[in-house]
Structure 1
Amino acid sequence: MSALQAAVDNARSPAADADIARVLMAIGASTPASESMPGIALALQSATRFRNVWPYLILSLRKNRRLDRTSIARMLAGLWADSSAPWDADSLRGLARVAHACFDLSLAMRALHALRDLHGSAGSDLLLEATCRAACGDLEQALTLCGTVLQRAPHNAIAAGLRDRWTQRLHSWRGPWHARVVGRDGLRLEPLHAEHAPPLAWQYRDPEIAAKTLLPPLEAPALATDWIEHRLADRHIVPYALLHREHGFIGSVEVTVSGTEGFLCVWIGTDWQGQGLGRRMIAMACEHAFRCGIEIMLTAAYDHNSASLRALRACGFADVNIRAEPPDEDRTFLSLSAASLDQDEIVRRLIGFSDRTDTGLRFPAVASNDGSAAEAQRQMQPRVEETQ
C-alpha cells in the first residue's frame, strides 16, 4: 500500500479536515488517478469540508496535470447545487478558484456572480473574473475589470500586468488574417496565443486527437506553449483558437496559406466532441479565408476518421480525385472553392500547394489538357506571399 493510500484510509473514519489536507498535499506530479481521486472525493464530501480544504485542492491541481479536472468540476458543481444552506463568501471564493483551475469557466463565473451578490467583489475576485472573460474571448470586458481594480488600487502590479498584456494582444489583431472572427452561437475564432496553452493542453488530452491530426503530443502546458510559438513563427501558418463565450477554449483551427490556396487543419477538444462544433468551426474558418482572398480551401482526413470526413462534407467540401503515393495513401483529400473549379484544376492546385509548402507528399503523374502534369505544376509556382 502506498503512503497516499494509507493516508486516505486514515482520513476516512473519522475524517478530520487536517487529514484530508495531508492527503491532498501528498498528491504529486506522477500520482496515478486511482490513488489521487479517492482523496479528492473526500475533500468534496460536504460543503463544510470543502470550505476548509479547498486551498489544498488547488495545490493538488497545480502539481498534478493529469488529474481529471472535468470530473472534479462536475462533482463540485453537484456539491454546490445539492447544498441545503447557502454558501458563505469563502466557500464561493474557493468554488470559483477550483473551477477555474479545472478549466470550467462557466462554473467559475457563476460562483463569482454569487459571491458578488452576497459579499461584493474584492480586487482578487475581479481579476479572476477578468481572467475568465479573457479566456472566453472578451478581452474588452477583461480590460474594463482591470481598470476597476486599478481605480481602487492604482499600484496593483497584477492588474497592471494583465492590462498591459491584454492591451498588447488586442493591438496585435490586425487584418486581414490576424483578426478575431465572431460567429454565431457565442463562438469566436481568436488568433492563437501562448495564453491559450493551459486549456489547449487539457482539451488535447485524448490521444486520438494527435493520432488523427499528426500533431505532436502536448501533455503539459509547457509543451503546448512551445507548439504555439512554433506555429506562430511560421509565416505561412495562421492558427486560431475556437472560444465559447461561456466555456472558453474548445478547439483549434489553422490555415496554411500559399498564394490563393489554403490548407485547413481542425480539431475539437476532448470535452466538446460530437456536438457539431467542428462543423461550425470549419464554416467560420472557410468564410474568413475566402474574405482574405483564398480561392480554394484544401484539407485531408484519414479514411478511418469518419467523423471528420462527415463534418467536412457537411460543410460543402468535396473529395478530390487523387491519392498520395505510399505511405500516405491512407487519407482522402477534399476541397472547397470560392468559385466553380473543375477536378483537373483542383488536382493541379493541390499538387502545386504540396510542392510549394514542402509537405513531403508525392502524387502520381496526372494527365492534363494542355501538357504534362509537371509542366502544369511549373506554371503554377507563384511567389509565396506573406500572411502577415
Structure 2
Amino acid sequence: MIADAKANSRTKGQVSGGNESSLKRSRLAPLTAAAWADAIVNFWRSADASSMIDRSQTLDIFDLWPGCGETAWLLMNALHRRLQVFPELAQRLRYLVVAPNRDTLNAIRAQKEFQLWIANESLVPVLWDPDRGEPCLLTPRKRFAWEATNPVVVLANDVWARLDQRLLAVHYGALLEADIGALANKQSDEEEAKLWFPAREQGLPAGLSPLLRECLLRFNSVPLPLPIGAIEMATRVTGLSKRGYLMLASADGTFTEQQMRLQTFPSLVERHRKGEAMPVNFYLLAKYFERLGAAAWQSEAAPGKVIQAVVGTLPRPHRILDPVQASLSNKNCGDAAALLKLARTATGWSRPPSESILALLRSTDFDPEVFVECTGAIMEILKPDTTVDRAPWREALQQIWQRHLPLPGTRPLHRMLAPALMRAGSWGYARSVLQRGLQIHGNDALDFAHLAWCEFRTGRLVEARKWIHRALSMPEKHATVTEVAEKIEDKLQRLHGGWLQTVPSSRMPVICLEPLDMLHAEALHQQYRDPQIAIMTGLPALTTLDATREWVNGHSTDSGRRAYAVMHVDHGFLGYACMAVSGTIAYFCFWIGADYQGLGFAAEIARLTCELGIRQGMTHIYTSAYADNARSLRSLERSGFTRLPIRALPPDHDRIFLFLQGAGAPVLDPEADLIAYYRDEKLPLKFPDRIAVVGRAHSGCHEHAQQNDAARA
C-alpha cells in the first residue's frame, strides 16, 4: 500500500492500496499530458528508426498510478491526437492501468469514457501486487501474464513521493539517519541531536552505497532524502521491461546540487507536520539509473515540481533520450502552473478580451482548471448583447470537456460548462454535458432546468416540459426553475395550431419551425451579424440588440406576416423564414444565420415553410432572389419553385422572380398576378408593359415584395 507521508517505516513498494486509495486523484495538466504524449511518440519513433520496434506487437504504456483514471484519460486522448499522423504506431498502442487490487481497476472499468477503449483492448486493466507475482492483464477475453514485447513506457506521475523514503543527512563527513516523525515531535535541540544515528547501508540496492559515499565528498551538511521505495519499484518495473524502457516521473522534489544545498531540515520537518511527503531526491535517482547504464534527464516542471525522463536497457540510450528531452523542453510543461495563476486574475478584468481568454485556453491545451478560473470572464464575453464570434468558443468549450473526466465526489464541472456552452449556442453539446453530469453527480433541480432550457431553445418543447416537470418535483427550489417553467408554459399556451405551431421536418429531423417571438431575439441578433444578410435581403441592418428586439417584436405581432424561427436540435436558432400573407397568396422570405450558411439547410427550410403555407390555405407563393445569388436560386428550385421569365425594369432588373403553386390550386397567370400585386400595393418596382391584368388585394406583402427575400442559402 502507499506509504504514509508521515511515516519512515520501510514498505515493499505497492503503489495503490484499498478502495479509498484507489480513488485518490493524481492530476496531470492537459499541457503536461500533451508534452508527455509528444515525448512518448518520439521515443517510439526513435526506437523504431533504430529497428528496436516489432510492429506486429503492442506498444505498451505501464501506468503505475492510475488513480481515478484522469492521467489515462488525458494521455490517451493526447496520444490519439498525436498519432493521427503515425497510424502504424496508433494501431499498436496499449495503455495498461496497473493496480494491486480489483477495486481500483473496477472503478476505472466502470467509467463510461473508458469502455470503448477497454472493449478494443487499447486500454487494459493490469492486476499487479509487486510483492506477490507478475503483472496480470485482465482483458475482456481472458486473463494472462504480461510480457513486454517492445520498449515500454513506464509512467510514474505523482508516484515516487507516495512510496517509502528515508531521511539521511550528510554532516561534515558523516552519513547520518533519523526518523522524521521523531524530529517533528522533538522538544529541544539537545533531544534532536540524540535522534540522529549512523545511517544503515546494509540491504540497500546494489550501486546505491557508492552514491551515498560520493555525496559525502560533494556536500558539507545537507539533508539527504533517500527515495528507497522509488528505487525498489523502478528497479522491479524496469526489470520486467527487458526490451527497453522510457520512464516518465514527476513529483515535488530536487534535482540539482544547488537545490539540495538550499534544502533545510526545518523545511522537511514542516512538510511532515502538514502531512506532506519529503521532496523526492531526483538527483540521487538520476545518478542511480546512470550507474545502471541508463540515460537520465530532469528539469523543473513548475516551482518545486520535477519531471524526469529515463531511457534504459537500450543501445545508445542518450541518442534515444534526445528527442524525448526535446519534447519535454519545447512543450514548456512548467507553463501550465504559471498560466493557471494568470487565469486566476481574469475575474478582475472589467472588459475581458475574447481573443486573450481564448489564447490563454489554447496555451494551456484547454485546461479545465483554467476554464474554472476564467468562467466569470467567459460568461461576460458571451453575453447576449455581444456579437463576438461564437464558433471558436464552441470549439474551445468542447475541447475543455474532452479533457475532463467526470468523477463522483469531484467538482461538478458540467454546472459551470453547460451555461457557457448554451451562451455559445452549442445547445446539443450542453445537453450531453448535463446528462453526463446527472449520471455522475445525481439528480439536481438546476441541472434538470438547464436541460429543459436546452430543449426549449432547440424547438423540442415536449422534451422541455418533461425535464422541467422533473425539476419542479425536486425538493430544492430555484428561481431559475420557476422562470424556465413559466417560459415553457407560456409558449405552449400560445401554440394552438394553424399558423401557430411547431413544424418538424420528416425529411431532415434535426430542424423545425417555430413561431418567432421575443425569446429568439438574442440568437437572431447573433446570427444576423453577417452584413451580407441585410444586403441580400433588403432588411434593416439591426446593428444593436435593442434594434433587433424591436424588429422581432414588429414581425412576430404583425397579423400579415407568419414569421418563424428555424430551430436546430443541436445548434438552436438557425435562421428566419416568413410568409407575408394576403388572402390565399403569400410572399416567401428566408435567410440562414452567419454560422450555418452553406450547410445544406436552405432547400428544406423553403420546402417546410411552403408546405405549411399550403396546408394553411395558400394557393400561390412568390419569392425572389438577386440574379447573382446562385445558392439561393438553386435552393429555391430544389424546394419546388419555378423561375418566372419576367424581369422588373432598371434599376431592379437584377432580381429573379419565382413561383410555387399548391396542389389543386386554380391555374392563373403568375406573371400577371405578380404585376398586379406590385401595382395594387403601390410598390416601387416597375415592369414592362403587357396585357392589362385584374388587380388583387395583397395587403401585408408590402415589405417582403420590395426586398430580395430568398437570402443566403
- Scaled by the length of structure 1, what TM-score is found? 0.84
Q: What's the counterpart of residue 254 of structure 1?
A: 578
Checking the alignment, whether the CA contact within 8 Å between 1:258 and 1:357 is kept in structure 2 is no
Q: What's the counterpart of residue 296 of structure 2?
A: none
Q: Render the CA deviation track for 1:338-361: whole Å, top value 9, x for unaligned.
A: 158999710122123334555432
Pairing of 1:1-388 with structure 2 (within 5 A): 15-17=338-340, 19-23=342-346, 25-26=348-349, 28=351, 37-39=358-360, 41=362, 45-62=366-383, 65-83=386-404, 85-86=405-406, 88-153=410-475, 156-184=478-506, 185-339=509-663, 345-367=669-691, 373=692, 376-378=693-695, 380-381=696-697
Structure 1 residue 249: deviation in Å? 1.3
Structure 1 residue 298: deviation in Å? 0.3
The 1:334–1:64 alpha-carbon spacing in structure 2 relative to 1, beyond 3 Å, is closer
Checking the alignment, whether the CA contact within 8 Å between 2:644 and 2:658 is kept in structure 1 is yes
- 1:280 partner SS: helix
The 1:382–1:247 alpha-carbon spacing in structure 2 relative to 1, beyond 3 Å, is closer
Q: Render the CA deviation track for 1:96-128: whole Å, top value 9, x for unaligned.
A: 121111010011111101100110232222111
**Structure 2: tracts of 5 or more residues without a match:** 1-334, 702-713
Checking the alignment, whether the CA contact within 8 Å between 1:173 and 1:179 is kept in structure 2 is yes
Checking the alignment, whether the CA contact within 8 Å between 1:28 and 1:63 is kept in structure 2 is no
- 1:235 partner SS: coil
Q: What's the counterpart of residue 326 of structure 2?
A: none
Checking the alignment, whether the CA contact within 8 Å between 1:320 and 1:332 is kept in structure 2 is yes
The 1:189–1:364 alpha-carbon spacing in structure 2 relative to 1, beyond 3 Å, is same
Q: CA RMSD in A?
A: 2.8
The 1:99–1:236 alpha-carbon spacing in structure 2 relative to 1, beyond 3 Å, is same
Q: Name the CA distance, whole Å, in 2 between partners of 1:197 and 1:64.
A: 10
Q: Which amino acid aligns with 1:216?
A: P
Q: Which amino acid aligns with 2:439?
A: D
Structure 1 residue 155: deviation in Å? 5.7
- What count of residue pairs does the alignment treat as equivalent? 363
Q: Which amino acid aligns with 2:618?
A: I
Q: Percent identity?
A: 27
Checking the alignment, whether the CA contact within 8 Å between 1:21 and 1:56 is kept in structure 2 is no
Checking the alignment, whether the CA contact within 8 Å between 1:197 and 1:225 is kept in structure 2 is yes
Checking the alignment, whether the CA contact within 8 Å between 1:260 and 1:296 is kept in structure 2 is yes
Q: Render the CA deviation track for 1:151-208: whole Å, top value 9, x for unaligned.
A: 2248644323332332221121233222221112232110011111122222222222
Q: Name the CA distance, whole Å, in 1 between partners of 2:544 and 2:651.
A: 31
Q: Render the CA deviation track for 1:313-337: whole Å, top value 9, x for unaligned.
A: 1122111121222322221111111
The 1:152–1:317 alpha-carbon spacing in structure 2 relative to 1, beyond 3 Å, is same
The 1:155–1:358 alpha-carbon spacing in structure 2 relative to 1, beyond 3 Å, is farther
Higher helix proportion? 1
Q: Render the CA deviation track for 1:41-92: whole Å, top value 9, x for unaligned.
A: 4576312222333233212322871333211110221232245x44644322
Structure 1 residue 247: deviation in Å? 2.4
Q: Name the CA distance, whole Å, in 2 between partners of 1:63 and 1:247.
A: 15
Structure 1 residue 308: deviation in Å? 0.2
- 1:257 partner SS: strand
- 1:333 partner SS: strand
The 1:159–1:45 alpha-carbon spacing in structure 2 relative to 1, beyond 3 Å, is closer
Checking the alignment, whether the CA contact within 8 Å between 1:351 and 1:377 is kept in structure 2 is no
Structure 1 residue 266: deviation in Å? 0.9
* Stretch deviating more after TM superposition (337-346 or 102-111): 337-346
Checking the alignment, whether the CA contact within 8 Å between 2:394 and 2:426 is kept in structure 1 is yes
- Scaled by the length of structure 2, what TM-score is found? 0.47
The 1:339–1:59 alpha-carbon spacing in structure 2 relative to 1, beyond 3 Å, is closer
- 2:412 partner SS: helix
Q: Render the CA deviation track for 1:225-259: whole Å, top value 9, x for unaligned.
A: 21110112322111001112232211110000112
Checking the alignment, whether the CA contact within 8 Å between 1:197 and 1:222 is kept in structure 2 is no
Q: Which amino acid aligns with 1:326?
A: P
Q: Name the CA distance, whole Å, in 1 between partners of 2:348 and 2:389.
A: 17
Structure 1 residue 23: deviation in Å? 3.8
* Stretch deviating more after TM superposition (331-340 or 214-223): 214-223
* Structure of higher CA gyration radius: 2
Checking the alignment, whether the CA contact within 8 Å between 1:46 and 1:79 is kept in structure 2 is yes
Higher strand proportion? 2
- 1:218 partner SS: coil
- 1:55 partner SS: helix
Q: Which amino acid aligns with 2:399?
A: G
Checking the alignment, whether the CA contact within 8 Å between 1:296 and 1:338 is kept in structure 2 is yes
Q: Which amino acid aligns with 1:235?
A: S
**Structure 1: tracts of 5 or more residues without a match:** 1-11, 368-372
Q: Which amino acid aligns with 2:397?
A: L
Checking the alignment, whether the CA contact within 8 Å between 2:621 and 2:659 is kept in structure 1 is yes
The 1:140–1:118 alpha-carbon spacing in structure 2 relative to 1, beyond 3 Å, is same
Checking the alignment, whether the CA contact within 8 Å between 1:51 and 1:90 is kept in structure 2 is no
The 1:18–1:288 alpha-carbon spacing in structure 2 relative to 1, beyond 3 Å, is same
